[in-house]
Structure 1
Amino acid sequence: MKEMRLFQTIQSKIVIIYVLLILMAMQLIGVYFVRTMERSFIDNFTDSLNKQAYLLAGFAELSLVASQEAGPTAEGKKSYADLNEIVTSLFNISDAEIQIIDANGIVLTTSAQNKASLIGQKNLQAEVISALQGIKDIQSETIDIDGHRRKVVAQPVSEGAKVLGAVYIVASMESLYGTMNRINKIFLSGTGIALALTVFLGVIISHTITNPIKEITRQATAMADGNFNQKVSVKGPDEIGQLGNAFNHMTNRLKEALSLNEEEREKLASVLANMNDGVIATDDQGTIIVVNRQAKQMLRIGNEDITDRNISEALGIAQEKIGQYVQGEHQTATIQVGNEEEGDFVTLRVVFTPIHRRGEGISGTIAMLHDITEQEQLEDARREFVANVSHELRTPLTTMKSYLEALDDGAIEDPALAHRFVGVMRNETERMIRLVNDLLHLSRLDSRKALISRVPTHVPDMLEEVADRFSFQLDQKEISIEIEVASGIQEVMLDRDQIDQVLDNLVSNAIKYTPEEGSIAIRARKTEKEWLEIVVQDNGIGIPRKDLARIFDRFYRVDKARSRNMGGTGLGLSIAREIVKAHGGTISLDSELNQGTRVTFALPVHRMEGEAV
């Protein structure tokens, strides 16, 4: 595996390419050079043999003509002896055999001493036969039984058109091929040296190319790990240097871009973390990729990580419905989270916005979560308030209309009946006046137009006067009342009329909902914060736990029919709460069904007189 990686490097590839190029060039040059030189040597060798054959044919012509004219005499034999001397001495070619053959193909002389027995015998070689037929420049190559390559040359010896004989030369070519082999060895040695130098130079040259690339690779790896402080050293203006400059420029730009991106991410994270609305971002498959803290709080999931979960699971909306919201005209949905029956729930408005990517369509979804619980509650309270006011006014008005119609129909003629009808209408009118006055009072408190006129007030006397005002009702139902004021509480600064109204409302409610022979207690003490705390407690029918959360709402009645029959408007506790809040205090109510009710309000006692609320 290591060797495979070695041959996959640019440096090794460059060296291999250089070596292969040199090797191919040397091979091409070598083949061409050797073949050319071999052909040149063979041609020169052949030409040399042909020239010698021509020259020898000239000498042989004289000898053959002389021997034919002399016949088988001493002079003819002398001519053959002279021809033999010429062949053996003048034309002696090392490692070559020369034969002079007459017109009948009989060997007259030979230069090979070990083949003297051939003299007088016929030479039936094809080259000799062709030469005796007058064909010139006959040549061929043969390999003897020892594997030696030999060159065969034959030339006719003629006088005019008459063929007198032939010259036959067989020369060894081993010395020529030996020279060629030595040249090949020299060439191979040169090729090896050239390849070694090529490898050496290739390594050096490849280093000049691969080292900058390696440095750029190291820098790229460092960049991938988040290190943008290193730079590639540029050693020249060539292409590698230009690449290094471009890479350094890219590093700076990327560093700036990432810094800007990180800054934007921090801004976005800060915005998401401090938004009052919840934000959920998903990919194109609906998988949550970003969710802010407010969204988790709205969905009641705490610190649970819901990324990689589907948004339909988090919102409790089917994936098909979400797709319809994202791609449809109406992109708003309303969901409830929590237990509505127990009153522990929130109402959320979810606005779906698709994320478009150029050329790819919708690549994700942004879901904005708005908590509209209070808004819905206010809207419900507004509707309920309008309905309650309408109902409270409609009932006495309907009663008055009925009695007026009865009077108009003749009941006015009956004094006793007319007097009773007028009394009923008077009571209903007073009831509407009380309702309107309570509403006006609440309106002034809501608009902060009411002034708290604080005066020194003796708390024990104030509580005694409250008991005196309700003494008749207490005696009617035989309800006992107990007033307890802690020591040290005498005069405090408060709006006596407003607090009297609060106490009247609380004591009146206590009397209404306490059975006969019950008991009511009014206690006053100072808290740890030096506030005046007044408690009105009874042992009446109490209030169901489910109604405690709305007991201070306007027009809210636990037992609507009974409260209306008792003349209540359902605004008493609301007015009491607003008066206490106007003093800067707090009010609370605790009750258990059939066990009684305790209302506690606390007022700060150090306030400037005439402070606007």
Structure 2
Amino acid sequence: MSGIRYFRSIQVKLIIIYVLLILIAMQLIGVYFISTMKTSLTSNFTTNLNNQADVLASFAAEKLDARPELPSGDGQQTEEDLNSLVRNLFSVNEAEIQLIDASGKVLATSLSTHQEYVGKKNTSLAVSRALQGIRDNEEEVIDEDNVRKKIIAKPVVYDTKIVGAVYLVASMKELYSTVNRINRIFMSGMLIALGLTGVLGIVLAHTITNPIKGLTRQAAAVAEGRFDRQVPVLGDDEIGHLSEVFNNMTMRLRDALETNEEEKEKLSSVLANMSDGVIAADEQGTVIISNRRAEEMLGETCQGRKMSELLDMGEGQLAALLSGHESSSVIHRQQPDEDLDEVMRVTFTPIHRRDKGISGAIAVLQDVTEQERLEQSRREFVANVSHELRTPLTTIKSYTEALDDGAMEERELAQRFVGVIRNETERMIRLVTDLLHLSRLDSNQAPLRRQPTNVPDMLEEVADRFSFQLRKKSIRAEVKVENGIVNVLLDRDQIDQVLDNLVSNAIKYTLDGGRIEIAARMAEQSSIAISVKDTGIGISRKDLNRIFDRFYRVDKARSRNMGGTGLGLSIAREIVKAHGGSIALDSEPNVGTTVTVTLPALHEGGAAS
């Protein structure tokens, strides 16, 4: 295969082209030269024979004309003169000349070996034509020895009377030997020329193919992503210009790829760190790109999946999207152990490509669950506030109208009505106070006033503040503080409010004769954990996730009758968060509830213990 590949290379093709051009040119020149040379030699040979035949005919004309009139002795002398004339005058090698009388009889021959022909009649067609007065009698024959010979017959004319003929047979062996020698010389020259042409062709093809090989290697390197190499520019010719253009193209391609890679990295970084999910699909609706956030939101791998399956889209909606219509939709996904579905807003945008129309679509997924939760909380908050305010206002209005209708006349009844109005008014004041407190906490307008606080004393004082309620319900309270916990930097007023709320709730929901434990211990990461544990009615598991929501009550009627606003735990959570801590609630129905507040154990100087 490598040999076949080698013969397909440009270098070999160039060499073959050069050699074939030279070979064809030499062949054309050789054919023309040899043909012309052969024609010229043959023409000169024939002309020489004709000239000698004409000379011999002119010398022999008088003797042939006088020969029949001579006596026999003179006739014999004439034949000897003719023989002498033929031998001495004719100088062509390997040629025979015969003098023939008017009857066609051979009178003299130049070859001593053919003396037996003398006196015999020459029956050659050329002789017959010559004796008839035809001058141009030439022909070429090949004898039994395979030797080509030239035959010429000339009439001998004396005073317009044909008295005989000159018959000339000359071998053309030397002529053709000369032509063959010239052929061999030409073939030798042609082979030498072809050899030199091959060598020069290799050198010339090397000068052409070497830069091309360099360009090929550079192109392969560029295809592999290596742009640091340059093609050497070996001249100012077309290949040199090609090398310069290729080097320029390589640099521009490197810059373009670097820019593209940089943009790709930026895009990948943007997609990876987007808070929204992004899915891109081709014209068939198959996902080709997705970011990590999209897979987290959908909970499955997106690559290679159908967008319609992932996003619960109908085929009609997908077809409308791929036809160029932007659209958006909201997807609800049910979450286990959650009372609110996961809500995603999906915005679809078609991908337009130049000269190709729409080649796909992009879907941007936004998790609006929190927004939906906040909106639901806002609606519930407004409804709860309205309800909490409407109830005491309705009561106040009813009792005021009753007083106005004459109840004031009855002193005992009027005092009871006024007491109800006072209680409802105080309830509204507590509600508004709690709302204002929450508002200040939300807007960070309630700065912490940290001060060294003795934790054991703080817990004891909390228990003392509720001693009356505890005795009233025969509830036993116990304070436990782990050794080593003494002074901690806290906002005493706000933490007291948190503990009061937790102990108050524990007392409310603990049956008579129960037990409440207020404890403090060291927790992980240099923090202190304060817990309030009761043996009350507990909270069901379905209510645990929403127990800290504003206005959320497990038992709404009972809580309201006990004077609660439904904001205590919400305020407690915000206070604890402001301290950099956390609050957790663990409960089991009919067993009890434990609320744990974890606070950083800061001491004077701001350092944690």
SS in 1 for 2:536: coil
Tell me the TM-score normalized by structure 2: 0.85
Distance in 2, Cα, partners of 1:221 & 1:229? 13
One-letter identity of the residue aligned with 1:55: V
Report if the CA contact (8 A) 1:80-1:108 is conserved: yes
TM-score under structure 1 length normalisation: 0.84
**Cα shift at 1:544:** 2.3
Residue 192 of structure 1 deviates from its aligned partner by 0.8
Evaluate the alpha carbon distance shift between residue 336 and residue 271 of structure 1 in structure 2; reply closer, same or farther with a 3 A threshold.
same
Equivalent of 1:550 in 546, 551, 560: 546
The alpha carbon displacement at 1:311 in A equals 5.3
Match of 1:176 in 2: 175
Partner of 2:437: 441
Distance 2:592 2:186 in 1: 123
Relative to structure 1, the CA distance from residue 167 to residue 412 in structure 2 (aligned partners, 3 Å threshold; closer, same or farther) is: farther
Does structure 1 retain, via aligned residues, the 8 Å contact 2:498–2:575? yes
- Name the CA shift for 1:329/1:510 in 2 (closer, same or farther; >3 Å): farther
Conserved? CA contact 1:299–1:337, under 8 Å: no
Which residue in the other structure is 1:571 paired with? 567
- CA distance in 2: counterparts of 1:485 and 1:108, whole angstroms: 169
Are residue 580 (structure 1) and residue 579 (structure 2) matched? no
The superposition leaves residues 410-448 of structure 1 with CA deviations (integer Å, 9 ceiling, x where unpaired) of 989998888777766665554444333322221122222
More displaced 10-residue stretch of structure 1: 206-215 or 14-23: 206-215
Instruction: Name the structure 2 match of 1:380.
Output: 376
Correspondence for 1:450? 446
Tell me how far apart the structure 1 counterparts of residues 106 and 340 of structure 2 sit (CA, whole Å): 138
Change (3 A) 1:67 1:391: same
Deviation at 1:600, TM superposition (A): 1.6
Q: Name 2:146's counterpart in structure 1.
A: 147
2:115 & 2:527 partners in 1: Cα distance? 158
Distance verdict in 2 for CA 1:115–1:496, change over 3 Å? closer
Cα-Cα RMSD: 3.8
Q: Establish whether residue 110 from structure 1 lines up as the match of residue 106 from structure 2.
A: no
Task: State the AA in 1 paired with 2:554.
Answer: V
Q: Distance in 2 between matches of 1:584 and 1:275?
A: 28
Secondary structure, aligned partner of 2:466? helix
Residues 117 and 34 of structure 1: CA distance in aligned 2, closer, same or farther (over 3 Å): same
Pair 1:507 & 2:490 matched = no
CA change 1:435–1:33 in 2 (3 A) is same
- Quote how far apart the aligned CAs of 1:288 are: 5.2
Aligned partners of 1:432, 1:418: CA distance in 2, in Å? 21
Decide which moves more: 460-469 or 35-44. Answer: 460-469
Deviation at 1:379, TM superposition (A): 1.9
Partner residue, 2:95: 96
Q: Is the 8 A contact 2:470 2:476 kept in 1?
A: no
Q: Percent identity, please.
A: 58
Q: SS at 1:152's partner residue?
A: strand
Looking at structure 1, the residues matched to 260 and 79 of structure 2 have their Cα atoms a distance apart, in angstroms, of: 113
User: Shift in Å at residue 580 of structure 1?
Assistant: 2.8
**Distance change in 2, residues 1:135/1:469 (3 Å):** farther
Q: Would the aligned equivalents of 1:459 and 1:492 in 2 still touch at CA under 8 Å? A: no
Selected match of 1:360 from 335, 356, 359: 356
**Deviation of residue 27 (structure 1)?**
0.6
Instruction: Tell which deviates more after alignment, 353-362 or 533-542.
Output: 353-362
**After the TM superposition, which residues 47-446 of structure 1 pair with which residues of structure 2 at under 5 Å, given as runs?**
47-70=47-70, 73-91=72-90, 93-281=92-280, 290-300=289-299, 321=317, 324-325=320-321, 328-335=324-331, 339-342=335-338, 347-363=343-359, 365-397=361-393, 427-446=423-442
What is the letter of the counterpart of residue 177 of structure 2?
A: G
Name the stretch that deviates more: 23-32 or 112-121: 112-121
> Deviation string for 1:220-245 (max 9, x for gaps)?
33333343333333343333333333
Match of 1:3 in 2: 3
Distance 2:266 2:153 in 1: 106
SS in 2 for 1:470: helix
**Residue identity matched to 1:441:** H
Q: Deviations over 1:371-400 (max 9, x none)?
A: 333222212211222222233334445566
Local SS of the residue matching 1:188: helix
* 1:590 matches 2:586: yes
Q: Could you tell me how far 1:538 is from its partner in structure 2?
A: 1.9
Report how far residue 281 of structure 1 moved.
Answer: 4.9
Q: Quote how far apart the aligned CAs of 1:578 are.
A: 2.0
**Alpha-carbon distance, 1:161 to partner:** 4.1
- Structure 1 residue 146, shift from structure 2 partner: 3.0
Name stretches of at least 5 consecutive residues in structure 1 with no aligned partner: none
Tell which deviates more after alignment, 587-596 or 509-518.
509-518
Whole-Å separation in 2 of the counterparts to 1:195 and 1:81: 60
1:31 CA displacement = 0.5
Judge conservation of contact 1:152–1:168 (CA < 8 Å) in 2: yes
d(CA) in 2 for partners of 1:344 and 1:89? 142
Partner of 2:38: 38
Larger mean Cα displacement after TM superposition, 449-458 or 402-411: 402-411
Q: Give the AA of the match of 2:233.
A: V
